[in-house]
């Protein structure tokens, strides 16, 4: 049975679309979601498009997320972007610890922990990504890897600042591969994440936090995944780049 957690469907546009293309897609989504929906909806454009997308979505209720951030507010950090700059550009959310940041760019748990603390400190809503690689799953290490990443990210934090946290479980082997964890697989890991939060903090926090599934989510599999009791939404990659494929996923969420 579903709880009263509001579903959340977020589109991660990754390294795609110019300013004009980003604004055009934002306008299509705004028009397509003109009527009230149960689900909260967000998009994460490239950093250069954050401002134009936030302007295009003004008044729509669709939230804007950055795809990454640094933990320092300012300084000699060439190529980085900070929480205050994201807020200034119109972002309210930020994706942290995405599998591509971890496994392509070598981000480590300690840096992700510092980013999470900085995001919370500035009032950004963090979408914390955790997930195992194929070798981990085949070796029976899914639980250890996923909960280890979660533990490392929240280490030293109290329950109160974590009230806005969103977690996204994204099995790395299912991202951009066309393979998808079965709804039962997703539910099992989501339930383990919720149980760990209850152990580390308290049951009330664990029951209130939303846990999204990310990994080749598309219109054809969204409804079955989102029907699971601990799957509170989706972090959508490729299917979020077109309104015609993203909007049906939102519809599936309610």
Tell me which of 18, 46, 67 is where a domain ends: 67
Q: What is the mean pLDDT of residues 112-116?
A: 98
Is residue 28 within 8 Å of residue 56, measured between CB atoms?
A: no
The yes-or-no verdict on residue 12 having pLDDT over 90 is yes
- What lies within 8 Å, CB to CB, of 116 at 6+ separation is 96, 97, 126, 128, 153, 154, 157, 165
User: Same structural domain for residues 43 and 129?
Assistant: no
Q: What is the mean pLDDT of residues 120-131?
A: 98
Please check whether residue 43 lies inside any domain of the structure. Answer: yes
Query: Which DSSP string do the residues of 94-108 spell out, in sequence order?
Result: EEES-HHHHHTS---
Please check whether residue 74 lies inside any domain of the structure. Answer: no
Task: State which H helix or E strand residue 112 sits in.
Answer: helix 109-121
37 is catalytic: no
98 is catalytic: yes
Tell me which of 67, 82, 114 is where a domain ends: 67
In angstroms, the CA 215 to CA 133 distance is 12
Please check whether residue 37 lies inside any domain of the structure. Answer: yes
The predicted structure's pLDDT at residue 232: 98
Instruction: Tell me the CATH number at 130.
Output: 3.20.20.70
Angle at 156 between CA 96 and CA 121, to 5 degrees: 55
Which pLDDT band, with edges at 50, 70 and 90, does 53 fall under? very high
Please check whether residue 111 lies inside any domain of the structure. Answer: no
Q: Per the structure, how many domains does the chain have?
A: 2
Please check whether residue 60 lies inside any domain of the structure. Answer: yes
Rounded to the nearest integer, the mean pLDDT of the chain is 96
Task: State which H helix or E strand residue 167 sits in.
Answer: strand 166-169
User: Same structural domain for residues 143 and 54?
Assistant: no
Which residue in the list 93, 98, 100, 107 is annotated as catalytic? 98
The predicted structure's pLDDT at residue 2: 59
Please check whether residue 62 lies inside any domain of the structure. Answer: yes
Which residue in the list 40, 70, 170, 190 is annotated as catalytic? 170
Please check whether residue 63 lies inside any domain of the structure. Answer: yes
User: Same structural domain for residues 58 and 142?
Assistant: no
Tell me which of 67, 84, 100 is where a domain ends: 67
Please check whether residue 42 lies inside any domain of the structure. Answer: yes
User: Same structural domain for residues 141 and 231?
Assistant: yes
User: Same structural domain for residues 154 and 231?
Assistant: yes
- Give the domain range for residue 6: 1-67
User: Same structural domain for residues 50 and 132?
Assistant: no
Per-residue pLDDT tens digits for 160-210: 999 999 999 999 988 777 777 899 999 999 999 999 999 999 999 999 999
User: Same structural domain for residues 145 and 231?
Assistant: yes
Please give the radius of gyration of the chain, using alpha carbons only, rounded to the nearest integer: 17
Per-residue pLDDT tens digits for 14-49: 999 999 999 999 999 999 998 888 999 999 999 999
């Amino acid at each position: 049975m579903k709880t009263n957690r509001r579903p959340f469907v977020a589109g991660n546009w990754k390294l795609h679309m110019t300013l004009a293309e980003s604004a055009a897609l934002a306008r299509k989504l705004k028009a397509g979601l003109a009527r009230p929906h149960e689900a909260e909806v967000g998009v994460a454009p490239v950093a250069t498009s954050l401002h134009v997308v936030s302007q295009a979505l003004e008044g729509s209720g669709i939230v804007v997320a950055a795809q990454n951030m640094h933990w320092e507010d300012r300084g000699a950090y060439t190529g980085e972007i900070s929480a205050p700059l994201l807020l200034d550009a119109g972002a309210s959310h930020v994706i942290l610890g995405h599998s591509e940041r971890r496994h392509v760019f070598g981000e480590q748990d300690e840096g992700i922990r510092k980013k999470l603390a900085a995001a919370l400190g500035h009032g950004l809503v963090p979408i914390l990504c955790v997930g195992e690689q194929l070798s981990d799953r085949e070796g029976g290490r899914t639980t250890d890897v996923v909960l280890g990443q979660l533990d490392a990210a929240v280490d030293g934090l109290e329950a109160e600042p974590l009230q806005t946290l969103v977690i996204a479980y994204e099995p790395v082997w299912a991202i951009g591969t066309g393979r998808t964890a079965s709804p039962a697989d997703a539910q099992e890991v989501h339930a383990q994440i919720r149980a760990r939060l209850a152990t580390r903090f308290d049951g009330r926090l664990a029951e209130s936090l939303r846990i999204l599934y990310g990994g080749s989510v598309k219109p054809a599999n969204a409804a079955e995944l989102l029907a699971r009791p601990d799957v509170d939404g989706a972090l959508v990659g490729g299917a979020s780049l077109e309104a015609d494929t993203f909007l049906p996923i939102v519809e599936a969420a309610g």
